[in-house]
């Protein structure tokens, strides 16, 4: 085929003819698919890959949300505070209820020493197991104070200086105080004041 040069400034230059070569495919009959335009091959691949990635992302999102929901339901992970219907507790396990208290008068007791120059000043508080027993324990306070004076007066200074022995002393006082009742009506004994010299 001969190439011709066309100058657009020339008025009488022939318009280039469009020839179809024999190697080109014949155009499809537009009557085969009426009303449908044939999609381009590159465009359909792009649409299909977009749909594929969209479906893949959606399936991944459903799997992650479902997995997290199952983990929260089974208790493997904690739910956020805004999601949980329970009110968060500031303290760990529930503390046992504290019973009514009786504060005894301060006691000054001479300790069992050879020289007799050491004494203890203490104030004890009795915790009662039930409110119903409060009146009965108050009627026995003088006998409880007598027991405390005898028990503490029998101790030596060395025994009272060591903190681990003070815990043992509290247990001993509690056991002796409860011996005055048919059942353990005193739940605990606390030192409100504990001074020695």
pLDDT per residue of the chain (197 residues) written in tens, 0 to 9 = 555 666 556 555 555 555 544 444 545 444 444 545 555 566 777 878 888 888 888 888 998 888 888 877 777 777 665 555 555 555 556 667 888 888 989 988 888 777 668 888 989 998 888 888 888 889 999 999 999 989 888 888 888 888 888 888 889 999 998 888 878 888 898 888 888 87
119 with 185, same domain: the answer is: yes
pTM: 0.49
115 with 144, same domain: the answer is: yes
Rounded to whole angstroms, the Cα distance separating 113 from 28 reads 124
| Strand runs labelled E in the chain | 101-103, 107-110, 119-128, 186-196
192 with 107, same domain: the answer is: yes
End-to-end CA distance of the chain: 128
Is 27 part of a structural domain of the chain? no
Domain with 113 in it: what CATH number?
A: 3.30.479
Is 64 part of a structural domain of the chain? yes
Looking at the structure of the chain, the number of domains it has is 2
Q: Which residues span the domain enclosing 56? A: 46-85
143 with 176, same domain: the answer is: yes
72 with 150, same domain: the answer is: no
Dihedral pair phi/psi, residue 41, rounded to 5°: -65, -45
Bridge partners, residue 190, by sequence: 125
């Amino acid at each position: 085929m001969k190439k011709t040069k066309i100058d657009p400034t020339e008025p009488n230059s022939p318009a280039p003819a469009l020839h179809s070569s024999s190697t080109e495919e014949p155009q499809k009959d537009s009557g085969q698919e009426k009303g449908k335009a044939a999609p381009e091959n590159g465009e359909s691949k792009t649409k299909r890959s977009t749909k594929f990635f969209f479906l893949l992302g959606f399936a991944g999102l459903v799997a992650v949300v479902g997995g997290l929901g199952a983990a929260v339901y089974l208790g493997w992970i904690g739910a956020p505070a805004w999601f949980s219907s329970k009110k968060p507790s500031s303290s760990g396990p529930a503390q046992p209820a504290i019973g009514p208290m009786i504060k005894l008068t301060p006691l000054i007791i001479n300790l069992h020493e050879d020289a007799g120059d050491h004494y203890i000043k203490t104030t004890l508080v009795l915790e009662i197991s039930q409110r119903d027993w409060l009146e009965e324990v108050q009627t026995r306070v003088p006998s409880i104070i007598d027991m405390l004076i005898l028990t503490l007066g029998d101790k030596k200074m060395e025994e009272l200086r060591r903190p681990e022995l003070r815990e043992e002393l509290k247990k001993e006082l509690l056991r002796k105080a409860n011996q005055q009742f048919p059942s353990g009506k005193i739940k605990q004994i606390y030192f409100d004041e504990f001074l020695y010299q």
